[in-house]
Amino acid sequence: MSFDERSEELARLRKEYEATGIEPHDLDADPLAAFDAWFAQAQEAGCTEPNAMVLSTVDSDGSPSARNVLLKGLDRSGETAGFLFYTNYESGKGSDIDATGLAALTFSWLQLHRQVRVSGRCRRVDESVSDAYFALRPRGSQLGAWASDQSRPVADRQTMEQRFADLEAQWDGKEVTRPPHWGGYRVEPQRVEFWQGRLNRMHDRILYVRSDQDWTRTRLNP
Ligand SMILES: Cc1cc2nc3c(=O)[nH]c(=O)nc-3n(C[C@H](O)[C@H](O)[C@H](O)COP(=O)(O)O)c2cc1C
């Protein structure tokens, strides 16, 4: 297929979403509880990697980047409520977040014609939280966290594999501890939007906005 044909095909691709709708009162007043309910439904529906989310950041010049990461925790404890993920603090995303203190997340549960968008402040979790999660990871992933200078150039695959093998030997017989450059971030939501695809592009959108300790819920045009 030529590039022009592919482009025409993409323009014609169309799918009608016939799912049942949502009203603001169908969702829990707490958006994290509402998210939790939708997440369980995404798991039940067999959505692929339902905890995969696109993390969007900007650097200090406002230049945007987006990439997938995995949701690894939902913190419901009041002041620090939020969505947790783990990464290399010296990666591209790490320096964006450390510079701006902001991030957005997008979950795409396409089998259910659903999307959830989250945005707000983003900060590193306590070291004890990262230590506890790191200890749960398989040994290979723990070594991988030491081996990878994430987002930095590397000469070739062999250099990476040699570095991994060296670290394997170095840590042989020892418990692998968390590298200081690796840990968690928590996105503390200021806005959470639930999107349900409906017929004729008349989709449902319910937006939660945080005001002090409370949340307001509003329906948005699709
Ligand atoms: C499904 C999926 C899940 C991923 N999960 C993570 C993750 O949890 N943490 C992470 O650092 N990178 C994860 N990655 C890799 C990132 O998308 C990205 O390539 C990497 O973190 C470097 O991004 P950066 O240069 O923007 O910092 C994942 C990629 C995919 C496709």
Q: What is the pLDDT of residues 10-42, one digit of tens each?
A: 888 888 777 778 887 889 999 999 999 999 999
Evaluate whether residue 26 is within a structural domain. yes
Packing angle between helix 139-147 and helix 157-170, nearest 10 degrees?
120
Total domains in the fold of the chain: 1
**Residues having CB within 6 Å of any atom of ligand 1:** 49, 52, 65, 67-70, 85-88, 91-93, 150-151
Q: Which residues pair with 104 in a beta bridge?
A: 56, 119
Evaluate whether residue 61 is within a structural domain. yes
pLDDT tens, position by position, 88-106: 999 999 999 999 999 999 9
Q: Ligand 1, closest atom to CA 151?
A: 25
- What is the CATH number for 203? 2.30.110.10
Evaluate whether residue 40 is within a structural domain. yes
Evaluate whether residue 157 is within a structural domain. no
Q: Ligand 1, closest atom to CA 72?
A: 8
- Predicted model pTM: 0.95
- The domain of 201 spans 15-137+179-220
For the chain, how big is the Rg over CA atoms in Å? Answer: 20
pLDDT tens, position by position, 114-138: 999 999 999 999 999 999 999 999 9
